[in-house]
Structure 1
Amino acid sequence: MRRGTTERIRPGDTLGGALVRLGVEGNTAQAMVAAFGEVFNVRHIRPGDAIRLVLEKTDDGEVPVLLEYRRGPVEEIVVRREGEAWKASLREFDVQVEKVLVSGVLESSLSEAVVAAGERADLAYALADVLAWDVDFYVDPRRGDEFQILVEKRTYQGRLIGYGDILAAEYRGQATGVRRVFLYPNPKTGRPEYYAQDGTSAQRSFLKSPLKFSRISSGFGGRFHPILKYYKAHRGVDYAAPTGTPVWAIGDGVVTRAGWGGACGNMVRLRHANGLETVYCHFSRIAPGIRVGKRVAQKEVIGYVGSTGRSTGPHLHFEVIKHGSHVNPLTLKLPPAEPLPQSELPAFQEAIAEFVEALDGRVYASANDDTEVVGP
């Protein structure tokens, strides 16, 4: 006869400690944890997570025979007794993946427009990430701007689990014009990248904005109003944003300064290729691991908006320096990355033909209204 019992991980707890609380003998708990660790890092178990222990009644009392840990909505780790040993396996549930076209019109903010279209706000953040080289979602959006997103949706039993790749996207903005991008493998690296319809790369050496569009800032007041200005007097741009908004490196570079900068407060300075440098000021805190000499990648978070130093409120002061002279970040023009070679264009056009038709409204219905949206 078997019975199951459930225990939640407590703050500061370990998997072994939770098993012992359930009555598992120390050596057995250790063996179960060791087997568990072969398929999942036990350090990634979080407080509040539940484990289920199955016990079997024997002449010597109840002994553990099975441990289950639900890792997210579609995966489960199972540790079962096989003779005197313990074996772990990862069980994945049947997840449905479908391509859907999500479209909307901005009335207040991008994230609210995506939610109004029946999707989760994290799809808005993914779109902003895809278009980060062309659209500054802190400055460019206007009421009436339109977007389309062809995306893979992952569902389980009618519940939205998450989003896969954005296969194609379009943003029609009053300040940006029309921006269309399509996902396609880079023929040199094999990594998926975004390209315009003519095969030119959608990516550039520098991003349009140093602020990562995130949950923290997506509902920021002052939407559709100027939130930044270029100040010649102090040679940079001020982005008003909530404390804690992530700030990322707008291009690959090396940290040349990280720490207290007087009036600049907590700050980071980066050196990039081709004589370019960028400066980021007034952080509430600098991201862990950011120190002088460290190489950072484009889109790597280097700090968080704050109001340290000489500051009247939370904002990011941002500067771009070219060959020793300050330039206006808002008018800085940089060439795109390498386009697809001419020999690759026929294959590219064939691959994206379906996506072009979707954006042109010739295929795909809108997102399934019957999907239950869950999670953040």
Structure 2
Amino acid sequence: MKNLRLCFYKYLGSVFFVFFLMLLSIAQNGYANENNIEQKTLSQENETIINDDIPQSGYYDLYARSSLRSSLGVIAGDFQEYITLLFDNVQTKASNFLEDLSYQYLPKLISQVPQKKYKIEYTDDTLILKSTIESGDSLGSLLNGWISFSNILNIVEESKDVFSLASLKVGKPIVFYINKKDLSLKHFEYELDMTHKVAIDFSGEKYRVDFQEIPYEYKLVYVEGTVKVNFFNSVLATNERAIFAIRLADVFTYDIDFAREIRDGDTFSALVEKQYKEGQFIGYGRIIGATFVNKGKKYEAFLYHDSEDEQKICYYNRNGDALQKAFLRTPVHFTRISSHYTMARKHPILGYTRPHQGVDYAAPKGTPVMAVADGEVTRAAYTGGYGHLIILKHKGRLESQYAHLSGYAKGIKNGASVTQGQVIGYVGSTGLSTGPHLDFRIKKNGNFVNPEEIIIPNKLPIDEKEIPAYKKYIKTVEAYMQNTKNKDEFIAEEWLKGIR
């Protein structure tokens, strides 16, 4: 801390030195300006005497007063300018000082601190350094010097059944809490994901590791809009983010084909949780209720207890029928159909007519492709004309195929289990393809069927005994949406509790 004080005194001395030079420069600059004014005015004097016949004595008296006022004005202007420059200079030096503190002085004062850029906060007894994981960082490189390396290995080993600290994710936040008195590490945090963090308390070589939920603030917000040109951009026009468009489309994806059924003039609305951390918006929580009017038909969705699994929640319409079906309507969002299911299509590359027993979705390369139902990967490989291909096996002797992919999502390999809506790959143009698109096919009992016509049963509806409670729940949701109930009363942790 002594070195920190010396750094501060050094910069304070620089500020006073700059102020002294400013005063000296003001005096010199004021004198020079006054001389310039005198020379200019004397030249005007000769012209004035000739033309206006003004006595010299009177003119000099007038000039003396004018010169004084001008000089004072110039000096005042210079003083104001230098004051501005001074504050700019101080601000720049302060900014540079903090940057130096972050990059240079902190590692020198506290040798254990890794070479990083930090956001620095403090309390009466604690210095708080906030940063993020960078490439090459490990728990060892972050905590080396604070505790022994053997204890670091013990932490990794003891935690592996709950979470992995063997490899840290780049970009994830980390926080050091350092004791001001002895510069020892009191506490360290690493965010595993959006919901949980690892917290390690230190007392010398002793430590305690906790797996904690990240505390968020939730705010209930009502969003509404009208489709103009396309749904995606229309959501962005409401000042919401792209992920919200995807989330809202997911709610209605069983009933509305967002690839080809969206029309100008369609309307949408949603009651959604927004997540905040330390006052900063970080993402969206649950969509509690939503409506979508597509081609004049109104669709409604209300989030409620799953009728088949008490541990889950599901979307239902006003009558208690589940929106979720065994298959999604489409495996990709916000695209167009470039080729339908047909038994006679001229192949764009081969040049002859043959069956096209699937649906082509034209989309930019890299567009996420989702599994249309729960299933198991039976193939994920390059297969000639189909390019990179994924085949999923589903219940009821159903099979779905995804061709011409640019690549596979992490974990997608033969034998892997997938869930409905999970991203399994990305649109590409591999194999016999004239441009980026997804060739999507479904087999039933070993034969290809038209994906646009296949009928798949819904999830079970809400039990009849639950309907009265569900109707009461809908009224609460609609009161929030219609602004007749104060959204500040919403408590995220209590939502859906006690309804049954």
TM-score, structure 1 as length reference: 0.79
SS in 2 for 1:340: coil
Moved more, 5-14 or 128-137: 5-14
Moved more, 30-39 or 236-245: 30-39
CA positional deviation for 1:165:
1.0
Whole-Å separation in 1 of the counterparts to 2:328 and 2:402 = 14
Q: Which AA in structure 2 matches 1:230? A: Y
Q: Which residue in the other structure is 1:164 paired with?
A: 285
Q: Which residue in the other structure is 1:115 paired with?
A: 236
Per the alignment, do residues 111 and 366 of structure 1 end up closer, same or farther by CA in structure 2, a change over 3 Å counting? farther
Bigger fraction of residues in strand: 1
Does the 8 Å CA contact 1:358/1:364 hold for their aligned counterparts? yes
CA positional deviation for 1:84:
4.2
* Pairing of 1:132-147 with structure 2 (within 5 A): 132-147=253-268
1:65 aligned to 2:185?
yes
CA positional deviation for 1:142:
2.0
* Pairing of 1:94-113 with structure 2 (within 5 A): 95-113=216-234
Per the alignment, do residues 78 and 7 of structure 1 end up closer, same or farther by CA in structure 2, a change over 3 Å counting? farther
Q: Which residue in the other structure is 1:45 paired with?
A: 168
1:196 aligned to 2:317?
yes
Does the 8 Å CA contact 1:136/1:208 hold for their aligned counterparts? yes
Whole-Å separation in 1 of the counterparts to 2:163 and 2:356 = 50
Residue by residue over 1:33-64, the C-alpha shift from the partner in whole angstroms, topping out at 9 and shown as x without a partner, is: 75587596424633355553636666xxxx63
Q: Percent identity, aligned pairs only?
A: 34
Does the 8 Å CA contact 2:308/2:460 hold for their aligned counterparts? no
Per the alignment, do residues 75 and 259 of structure 1 end up closer, same or farther by CA in structure 2, a change over 3 Å counting? closer
Q: Which residue in the other structure is 2:427 paired with?
A: 305
Per the alignment, do residues 74 and 67 of structure 1 end up closer, same or farther by CA in structure 2, a change over 3 Å counting? same
* Pairing of 1:6-17 with structure 2 (within 5 A): 7-8=115-116, 9-17=133-141
Q: Which residue in the other structure is 2:368 paired with?
A: 246
Whole-Å separation in 2 of the counterparts to 1:259 and 1:90 = 38
Whole-Å separation in 2 of the counterparts to 1:285 and 1:84 = 46
Per the alignment, do residues 85 and 342 of structure 1 end up closer, same or farther by CA in structure 2, a change over 3 Å counting? same
Whole-Å separation in 2 of the counterparts to 1:93 and 1:203 = 30
Per the alignment, do residues 229 and 168 of structure 1 end up closer, same or farther by CA in structure 2, a change over 3 Å counting? same
Bigger fraction of residues in helix: 2
Does the 8 Å CA contact 1:242/1:305 hold for their aligned counterparts? yes
1:182 aligned to 2:293?
no
Q: Which AA in structure 1 matches 2:386? A: C
1:278 aligned to 2:400?
yes
Q: Which residue in the other structure is 2:391 paired with?
A: 269
Whole-Å separation in 2 of the counterparts to 1:53 and 1:150 = 38
CA positional deviation for 1:319:
1.3
CA positional deviation for 1:91:
7.6
Does the 8 Å CA contact 1:7/1:18 hold for their aligned counterparts? no
Q: Which AA in structure 2 matches 1:240? A: A
Whole-Å separation in 2 of the counterparts to 1:81 and 1:316 = 53
Whole-Å separation in 2 of the counterparts to 1:328 and 1:76 = 46
Does the 8 Å CA contact 2:337/2:359 hold for their aligned counterparts? no
Does the 8 Å CA contact 2:400/2:440 hold for their aligned counterparts? yes
Whole-Å separation in 1 of the counterparts to 2:421 and 2:283 = 22
Whole-Å separation in 2 of the counterparts to 1:286 and 1:94 = 34
Q: Which residue in the other structure is 1:230 paired with?
A: 341
* Pairing of 1:4-43 with structure 2 (within 5 A): 5=113, 7-8=115-116, 9-20=133-144, 24=145, 28-31=148-151, 34-35=154-155, 38=159, 41-43=164-166
CA positional deviation for 1:93:
7.5
5+ residue gaps, structure 2, are 3-108, 117-132, 344-354, 489-500
Does the 8 Å CA contact 1:16/1:30 hold for their aligned counterparts? no
Whole-Å separation in 2 of the counterparts to 1:203 and 1:130 = 9
Whole-Å separation in 1 of the counterparts to 2:478 and 2:430 = 47
SS in 2 for 1:318: strand
Per the alignment, do residues 47 and 186 of structure 1 end up closer, same or farther by CA in structure 2, a change over 3 Å counting? closer
Q: Which residue in the other structure is 2:470 paired with?
A: 348
SS in 1 for 2:234: helix
Whole-Å separation in 1 of the counterparts to 2:464 and 2:376 = 34
Whole-Å separation in 2 of the counterparts to 1:364 and 1:137 = 32
CA positional deviation for 1:162:
2.0
User: Aligned-residue CA RMSD in angstroms?
Assistant: 3.3
1:206 aligned to 2:327?
yes
**Residue 208 of structure 2: which of 65, 68, 87 is its match?**
87
Structure with max Cα Rg: 2
CA positional deviation for 1:74:
9.4
Whole-Å separation in 2 of the counterparts to 1:115 and 1:13 = 36
SS in 2 for 1:331: coil
SS in 1 for 2:452: helix
1:54 aligned to 2:173?
no
Whole-Å separation in 1 of the counterparts to 2:471 and 2:455 = 28
Per the alignment, do residues 81 and 68 of structure 1 end up closer, same or farther by CA in structure 2, a change over 3 Å counting? closer
Whole-Å separation in 2 of the counterparts to 1:238 and 1:202 = 25
5+ residue gaps, structure 1, are 368-376
Whole-Å separation in 1 of the counterparts to 2:460 and 2:392 = 23
SS in 1 for 2:148: helix
CA positional deviation for 1:187:
4.2
Per the alignment, do residues 282 and 32 of structure 1 end up closer, same or farther by CA in structure 2, a change over 3 Å counting? same
Asked which structure has the greater RCO (Cα within 8 Å, sep 6+), the reply is: 1
Moved more, 33-42 or 114-123: 33-42
Q: Which AA in structure 2 matches 1:189? A: D
CA positional deviation for 1:102:
0.7
